[in-house]
Amino acid sequence: MNAYDNALRQLEKAAKLIDLDKDVVARLSTPERTVMASLPIKMDDGSLKIFEAYRVQYNSARGPYKGGIRFHPQVDLDEVKALSFWMAIKTAVANIPMGGGKGGILVDPKAMSEAEIQRLSRAWIKAFKDVIGPEKDIPAPDVYTTPQIMCWMADEYSNLVGKKQWGVVTGKPLDFGGSKGRDTATAMGGFYVLQEAINELDLKASKLKVAIQGFGNAGSVAAKLLYDAGYKVVALADSRVIIFDKKGFDVDKVIEHKEKIKTLAGFKGSKEIDIKEFFALDVDVLVPAALENQITKSNASDIKAKIILELANGPTTPEADEILFENNVMVIPDVLANAGGVTVSYFEWIQNNENNYWSDKEVDDELKERMIPAWQSVLKNSKEYKIDLRTAAFVTALKRLAEAIKVQH
């Protein structure tokens, strides 16, 4: 399944619905700029390795490009193009004045030392320094990139341009120009939207059962937020194992266990289940917070959840979307559900530019102020056009992008 083909199908579907201007569709059907580089890195053993690297700048009609950089062994150009397109949609859905971009390096960072990763991070900046910058394109962390990597990147960029430029990337450590609330932003934004969806469906949070796939930053924070809000978290998955307990987990203890042994495996009182069982669980809320293309036409009809909250990017294929819509499953799409991350990244960029830093409460209040209206706009379009929330999110974004494009051309 080609992620970029999926993205273009989503664009086409929403564009047809609102009879979007053909020139706007043409502009949004291809990135504004694609940059590729080969990064030669001296490894610790003295050998030289070459790594393929990318930056796709999809659309800047609403502001500078914004989007993460992933270090992953499966990175390819089509995936980066799809992710950059989704970022342009996501920033428009969240109604922040930024565009969409994405970057990546084809690498297995787990097989590298910290020193090698630092050299690789700095090499990426050297290769792309002319096309990024606080007013042009602001990268951020993504799969297997960290605040520390952002710190090295901001430092390298600052050295190259000869002045401190913390605002060139977001997702930095707190004492290096980072924003409070950034580490929990993706899950927190999703949580606010989920609460709205539950009210819309007239459900009671305290009685709802949840399954979460992915126990990285977004998944583990979501598990904690939902557990604290009274949801019963019955299934959790990391990259190695899926654990289940019909009575519900004490999420604080699960987090402790994971920190100690680096896996969910062997958590006391839990039963290991396979991926097929996981998607067929009798739960109310399913939270995919791992990688793309997890919910497909082969497992979509097994899903019993009433709500799917997509904290991962692109976890549901277009075929699965159709099945879920027919089955009355409310899918809160990634471009809305996980937009909290880019929203707080935008707040970090503002704080860097103004050299004025906000409290946890200020960040959280501002995040809520963005996420709830975003949900309301998407829900309104969903009802008006009688469409699923993903298509409604695209409709919301495309209307905003079309306005910006028309004003400029």
Give the separation between CA 153 and CA 363, rounded to whole angstroms: 24
Exposed/middle/buried for 130, CB within 10 Å: 0-12, 13-18, 19+? Answer: exposed
pLDDT of residue 102: 98
Give the separation between CA 62 and CA 51, rounded to whole angstroms: 32
Query: Catalytic: 110?
Result: no
Q: Name the token pair of 373.
A: 């209206």
Give the separation between CA 71 and CA 402, rounded to whole angstroms: 32
Fold type of domain 32-176: Rossmann fold (3.40.50)
254 Cβ contact list (under 8 Å, min separation 6): 223, 236, 264, 267
pLDDT of residue 314: 84
At 204-228, the pLDDT tens digits run 877 899 999 999 889 999 999 999 9
From residue 216, give the alpha-carbon distance in Å to each of 192, 259, 404. Answer: 19, 11, 35
pLDDT of residue 3: 82
pLDDT along the chain (409 residues), means of 10: 85 94 95 98 98 98 97 94 95 98 97 98 98 97 93 98 96 95 94 97 89 94 96 95 96 96 93 95 96 92 97 90 95 96 96 96 97 98 95 96 91
Cα dihedral 253, 254, 260, 263 in deg (nearest 10): 170
At 156-206, the pLDDT tens digits run 999 999 999 999 999 999 999 999 999 899 999 999 999 999 999 999 877
Count of alpha carbons within 13 Å of 36, Cβ hemisphere only? 10
Q: Where in the chain is the domain with CATH 3.40.50.720?
A: 179-409
In single-letter form, the type of residue at position 23 comes to D
Q: Where in the chain is the domain with CATH 3.40.50.10860?
A: 32-176
3-state secondary structure of 330: strand
From residue 147, give the alpha-carbon distance in Å to each of 187, 200, 217, 263, 356. Answer: 17, 36, 12, 22, 20
Q: How distant is the alpha carbon of residue 393 from its chain centre?
A: 15
Indicate which residue of 90, 102, 224, 306 is catalytic. 102
Q: How distant is the alpha carbon of residue 64 from its chain centre?
A: 18
Phi–psi pair at 56, nearest 5 degrees: -110, 125
pLDDT of residue 1: 65
pLDDT of residue 217: 85
Give the separation between CA 246 and CA 89, rounded to whole angstroms: 37
pLDDT of residue 207: 82
Other beta carbons within 10 angstroms of residue 250's beta carbon come to 16
Domain 179-409 has CATH 3.20.20.10: no
For the entire predicted model, the pTM comes to 0.92
